[in-house]
Amino acid sequence: MTNEIIQQKLTEKFGDQLTEWEAQFGLLTFRAPAENNLKVIQFLYDDETMRFRFLTDLTAVHYPERKGEEFCVVYHLHNLADNVRLRFKVYVPVEKPDVYTVTQRFSSANWMERETYDFFGINFIGHPNLMRILNVDEMDYFPMRKEYEMEDPTRRDKDNEMFGRDA
């Protein structure tokens, strides 16, 4: 199983809906429309040539400068039989960060989607229990969004002199 075969099969199935193909460090990566994330997952899982039946990771990235697609949900899948991995991304706007849940295909996605919701505010449509998993329930913001400062500049314990570094 090669990246070329994977790309060819996905292109045959989805045509030009899949874009931004690259294979940095040998890891095939592509972009899919957010409304098709479940269809792509299902195809990658069900197709007997593809056999991507292990969800390694699911997370998000916040790109505040990308108007209309501020959030990127990233899926890492693994074909254990052929030891091949791939990554695919879907982008959603900050005003409506909705993506279909993949928990019906991968039970491990349950906690990954909850964590991604907890930190970024991605709404996984159809998730069986989408609620905070690590942060307190009373939290009214999503801490991994880049709209917050990374550090409190007034904290004295973070000054370089406290670490023996020159200012």
| pLDDT tens figures, 132-147 | 989 898 888 888 888 8
Burial (0-12, 13-18, 19+ Cβ within 10 Å), 93: middle
* pLDDT score, position 143: 86
Mean pLDDT, residues 15-31: 95
What are the structure tokens assigned to 66, written together? 């990308």
pLDDT computed for residue 70 by the predictor? 96
Separation of CA 51 from chain center: 20
- Percent with pLDDT over 70 in the chain: 89
- Thinking of the domain 12-141, which architecture would CATH place it in? 2-Layer Sandwich (3.30)
Confidence at residue 65, expressed as pLDDT on a 0 to 100 scale: 94
Across 10-82, where does the E strand assignment appear?
Answer: 19-22, 28-31, 54-62, 71-79
Q: Choose the weakest-confidence range: 12-16, 44-48, 80-84, 146-150.
A: 146-150
* H helical segments located in 73-148: 109-120
> CA 56 → CA 34, 49, 64, 87, 136, distances in Å?
19, 19, 26, 10, 26
For the entire predicted model, the pTM comes to 0.86
Q: What average pLDDT is seen over the chain?
A: 91
C-alpha–C-alpha distance, residues 66 and 86, integer Å: 24
Question: What is the tens place of the pLDDT at every residue in 90-127?
Answer: 999 999 999 999 999 999 999 999 999 999 999 999 99
Angle at 68 between CA 67 and CA 70, to 5 degrees: 70
